[in-house]
Chain A
């Protein structure tokens, strides 16, 4: 059996080599230094079609990280509020939060992304009549951060970015809410009653007694949700947000180097997942119960 396990990779590699030769597919990562030949809609740094492929991939990685990090921050905020809301004494708050969670976690995230993209395409105000809030301006180009009065922008969030962010945040928040609720219900009821008998208000009870204890239960599953959000950001390819998967997809179609492009995607996500779980493990060790 072990022999079979050891031989399988060799067999697959051999087949791949034979097939690639037969189909005239070149292999190797040398294409990374060749000019990409395509433009990217939005990048953190300068990019044009003359730049090499590796810079395109890097731009994609930055775009993935940009949407994932913002998404994680927003989803934590919204999910925690919803989770606390689900344990509220207020019937209306409880019901609204429950309905939210049940609706958003039972519809595929891809479908939600597509829907938000469509809704934004229709609902964003036209160019000639943008919404303005202080330095922010919202129109069909997305959300822009204006500098000065001349219409210079510091940076712009495209509608694609907003759709991915909105979809991922609202979807993942429903799972985060359940994680937070499970954490809060895991704290024995006596703790809350004891805090109340000491005269702590409900907000203080939550802040000083329930949440610190709930955090220990919350952190490991919360890590999983963060990782899920990061991995789900790969669905951006479906609505044309230039994240690393969609760049790799374009590169794959242009160069035909399937093995290399998919290897790039997988490496990027493996590194991100590993880094996130290392950080969360460190944070978990800090929040864990200090025992002798």
Chain B
């Protein structure tokens, strides 16, 4: 016969509110988690204060390189204060630089406007044509009393924006046609489109750019020379088109067959079916993928510096390589343009998330 012994009462459940509970839930839930928290926290404490010290506390902000040469000086942001005009505008004539500035503002405004719902109207196309015309007028000049500035003097941020915007705008219709072509029932069209996509996706962009700058001139009939900017634009467009075509093809495949059959029953022609039934659904499905492509193209414009066009990356080299006083502070310059690229790419990726939510609104239950 055993005597009754009550089991000890359970401890009260630990609190699930308050800062301590929050710490426990998010940082110290079990011992591996705590270990990770402590070791990463230690690493951060080891790395971040010296970085802040270098980048902010001991940094020199004035355009004066003697201040940067003092012992124990941190980052020399003065290099940007001194050189920002060349970094942002490249070799564009100094006293005319209000023109690329205005052009950049116009182009950025156009891009921002195109992202907003209120502007998704038919007249947006007209707005694009208008702004692009204004952009070229401002940059090239030669009319309205503006002096002529050859394209080989264009550079910096306006060139980056121009390359990215125009190649996206031109690659999009191209990739639509190629994507449709890859699903065509005509074997000749299908194989040409497949060949194009697979060839381009198999080679690096830099080889396409080499082709644009060394080989395109050989392709053209005698006496016809095409500006290097146009050739490089054509190269980026052809390259981007292949990648975008694959993304769009994915969307086309996601449209159920019944949709196309229903359209055929209603008597719609091939182009009517594509334009009214297939593409709206397909494009909505792949918008995030397309936005990824846009971001990739924006970053890829930095490669044109290898074929001697002075967009942001090239303009930085232009600004610093020949100036022995400021050249030691190139890393600050790199960080500066890295921030510009980051601002554009990061906002594009945030925007892409927003678009995705908008597109999926109809599917929410």
Contact = CB atoms under 8 A, between A and B. Distances in A.
Interface of A: 2, 5, 12, 15-16, 18-20, 22, 88-93, 96, 102-103, 105-111, 114-115, 118-119, 122, 202-203, 231-232, 234-235, 237-238, 245, 249, 252, 258-259, 262, 265-266, 269-270, 273-274
A19 B29 contact: no
A91 B26 contact: yes
Contacts of A102: 346, 349
| B interface residue count range (under 10 / 10 to 19 / 20 to 34 / 35 or more) | 35 or more
Interface in B82-139: none
Contact of A108 (B203, B215, B300): B300
A261 to B, nearest CB: 8
A118 B36 contact: no
A110 B303 CA distance: 7
Nearest to B346: A106
Contacts of A265: 203-204, 207, 210
Contacts of B145: none
A108 B33 contact: no
B214 A20 contact: no
Nearest to B219: A12
B33 A245 contact: no
Per DSSP, chain B at the interface is helix
Contact of B334 (A115, A203, A252, A269): A115
B333 to A, nearest CB: 10
Nearest to B306: A238
B214 A262 contact: yes
- Chain A at the B interface: SS class: helix
A231 B204 contact: yes
B207 A92 contact: no
B188 A2 contact: yes
Interface stretch (B37-45, B67-75, B167-175, B262-270): B37-45
A190 to B, nearest CB: 20
Given A249-B210, A269-B204, A202 B303 contact: no
Contacts of A15: 218-222
Contacts of A118: 330-331, 334
Nearest to B199: A270
Given A270-B202, A273-B201, 16 more contacts: A15-B222, A88-B36, A89-B33, A90-B36, A90-B37, A91-B26, A92-B26, A102-B349, A106-B346, A110-B302, A245-B204, A252-B214, A258-B210, A262-B214, A269-B202, A273-B202
